[in-house]
Chain A
Amino acid sequence: MSTTYARKTWDREGRRLGRGLMALPALILALVVFAPLVYSIVLALYNWQITQINQGKPFVGLQNFAKLFTDPKVLSAVGNTLLYVVGSVGVELVLGFIIAAALFELTKGRKLANSLILLPMIIAPVITALIWRYMFDPQFGLISQVLSFFGVKGGVDFLGSSQLALSSLMIVDIWQWTPFVILILHAGMLGISEEQFEAARIDGAGRVRILRSIVIPGIAPQILLVLLFRTMDTYRIFDTVYVLTRGGPGGATETIGLYTYQTGFSFFNMGYAMALSVFILVTIAIISTFYLRLLRRRSVFA
């Protein structure tokens, strides 16, 4: 009886201590994460032009949010962003899966291959963009120089043509972030038990069948995780576009992230920029919720 009482007291005190210890991190989290978020939502309700110093910030209610739905640039920027997300993430996933599967099959030099593959991911995105700027340059760039050996004279207009510019930006993203996909998927593949493969081989399954029936279902949570991270990242793309095209030519590569930056820091319309930021946040939250639900079904986060 006394033992049960002591245990209950211990549990109660433990819970109290736990709550007490959580208070400070919760407060820091609220200050660091939620306070700026709430502040940005509040600012989105004002017409705040940061260049009009002495004119205050008139309260405009939901006017900035209403403008989102009538601003043709938002529609065009969201369209470009979605194309960029689908193109980049789609190719990264397929390419990443193929390379991860090849690495999985590799018996020698896997560590070295892994290290080499990860190199692009280590480079800062702005530096990556600068490297590709000179790769894509139609006058002096490496790609145009190589193409000239095959008779393509005058260079290819990778970044100055509205037909090629967005695809060229996708290539940069694919080059830099496919290693991330490889890393995650390869780790997932290594987690599948060897017995499953042995059983499949004994049953006479070929490589394709093993991939389809064992590997893909086995790494489904990792695939969803990769999709979640890469979709969020590519939806917010800014640095590569800013360095390479500034949204041009003619708005062909203007993404919602770039438009938000320009609205705030080039056009100085901070209230509207905050509304755009909230819009990005909400859309990313919707997409993330979709992926997280799928992940929960896979019992990863259940």
Chain B
Amino acid sequence: MFATQHKRSWAVIAAVALSAGALMLTSCTSTAGGSAAGADPNAAPKSAGGPYGTFPGEKLTLSRWAGDPWTSGQTQAAKDWSSSTGGKLTLAAVPYENLHDKQALSLSSGSDYDIVYVHPSWFGEFAKAGYLAPIDKYLADPKRNPTGFSAASYLPNVLAQGKYNGTQYCLPDFVSTIVVGYRTDLFAAAGLAAPKTVSDVLADAAKLNSKGGTAGIVMPGKATGAVADVFGSLLTAQGNWWYNAAGTKNTLDSTAATNALDFYTSAAKYAPTGVLNMAVDDAATVAAQGKAAIVVDTTPSLSALEDPAKSSTVGKWGYVPLAFDASKPGGELIYWNWCISSNSKSKDAAYSFLQYYTDTAQQAKVALAAATLGATKSFYEDKAVTSKLPFLPAVNAALSNSNPQPSLASWPAIQNAIETSVQQAIQGSKTNAQAVTDMQTALAALGK
């Protein structure tokens, strides 16, 4: 019996020793923040504007949609980050149509991704499922960020979209919204002042329509999502939105929706032939080729107006935000979220890349190559960017009062119903009142 007890004691001692050894081994290979041995997440950048920390041998995978120039631009940023930190960041780019499923499957199985590019419509779903890691402590840690850099460095309304239940999970980029472009030369020739409100836009479009072979106004009319984006911007400019902040209740106001629809249907009368089959790029091309005096469009597409390779009207455009009341501009906030997977074993390194990539220097490169905008305040003061993308002040004004697309899984279906109703109202197959009622029905039925 004594012999048995003696054996048990030895077994307990051995087990304790093994556990302690394992714990020591673990503490050597991983810190609380999620870094491998030899990593120093607090190391200052090797060069000014470079990424924070050193992560030798750490391998990270980033999930995003495939599409240039963004993917190739980010591949370069990943290479720069890797050579500066000693880590290795690889991009896993898949077509947008497959991105949600690929990310959801990967994150739910606890494998593969460290950094995920999350669309607003599925951010809530991922945050609720616990797939994303909180980043508040990283943002607040002065050792992980450049001097003076913190959550306050981002446009507050945009950064807030990466919060779920009060916790910050993601950092934004790929920002855009809807603004109005107008031909300064045509306006000056007609003795018109820059439009301040949508009423001005309509009146000016009517006056300039068909003069010199140009249409009064052009905007996207094809059901590709942009019609709902423009409509949403018109709602925001009136202080209204599709849903309440929790996304649980349809809040579309009939008067605001009718005003927005009146603008769209009236503008369509001064638009060029084929407006209902124009996506954002088509509308921008029409404007860039001098076939419209005013354009209402998303900002990446508007960059074509200022590109000498695509535009015969470079330098002839002025930009203003959409507004019903000149003192209250508004716009729909279009953006993407950079988030860290809660399964990642390299969260420190992942944050290092997020901070590096969403900060002004890298975002300026993206903007100059692809015209999608950053979310930091200093980005909108960067002279290299503002000189190439003169619509930035209008965007900044619009983003001060902006709403993001509802974070609902059913949003694409609702969006389709909204766009079909707008198209039918423009065609006259539905009255504006009926179209608004149909939108409200779709919002109530599908927004559960």
Please say whether chains A and B are actual partners in one complex: yes
Stretch in contact with the other chain, from B19-27, B190-198, B390-398, B423-431: B423-431
Closest chain A CB from B437 CB (angstroms)? 15
| B131 closest partner in A (C-beta) | A53
Count of chain A to chain B residue pairs whose CB atoms are closer than 8 Å in the complex: 100
As a 0/1 sequence over residues 84 to 110 of chain B, the CB contacts with chain A under 8 angstroms (1 = contact) are 000000000000010011001000100
Verify B412–A139 contact, CB threshold 8 A. Answer: no
> Does A114 belong to the interface (CB within 8 Å)?
no
**Within the assembled complex, what's the spacing in Å between the Cα atoms of A168 and B424?**
19
Partner of A251, one of B100, B104, B420: B420
Stretch in contact with the other chain, from A22-30, A78-86, A159-167, A222-230: A159-167
Closest chain A CB from B179 CB (angstroms)? 22
Closest chain B CB from A74 CB (angstroms)? 14
> Does B111 belong to the interface (CB within 8 Å)?
no
Partner of A137, one of B223, B274, B409: B274
With an 8 Å Cβ cutoff, the count of chain A residues facing the other chain is 34
Closest chain B CB from A65 CB (angstroms)? 19
Asked, given contacts A49-B409, A51-B100, A250-B424, whether A155 binds B274 with beta carbons under 8 Å apart, the answer is yes
> Does B278 belong to the interface (CB within 8 Å)?
yes
Closest chain B CB from A112 CB (angstroms)? 37
Across-interface contacts of B101 in A (CB, < 8 A): 50
> Does B60 belong to the interface (CB within 8 Å)?
no
Verify A160–B273 contact, CB threshold 8 A. Answer: yes
Verify A139–B272 contact, CB threshold 8 A. Answer: yes
Stretch in contact with the other chain, from A12-20, A122-130, A259-267, A277-285: A259-267
> Does A154 belong to the interface (CB within 8 Å)?
yes
> Does B416 belong to the interface (CB within 8 Å)?
yes
Report B420-442 residues with CB < 8 Å from chain A CB. 420, 423-424, 426-427, 429-430
**Within the assembled complex, what's the spacing in Å between the Cα atoms of A155 and B285?**
16
State the 6 A-B residue pairs at the shortest beta-carbon distance, nearest first. A51-B409, A160-B276, A160-B277, A267-B413, A249-B276, A138-B274
Interface contacts beyond A138-B273, A265-B97: sample of 10 additional A-B pairs, CB < 8 Å, sorted by A: A50-B104, A51-B122, A53-B108, A54-B129, A139-B272, A154-B272, A155-B274, A157-B276, A250-B276, A251-B424
Instruction: List 15 A-B pairs, Cβ < 8 Å.
Output: A49-B409, A52-B125, A54-B108, A54-B129, A139-B274, A154-B273, A160-B278, A244-B277, A246-B223, A248-B419, A249-B276, A250-B420, A251-B424, A266-B412, A266-B416
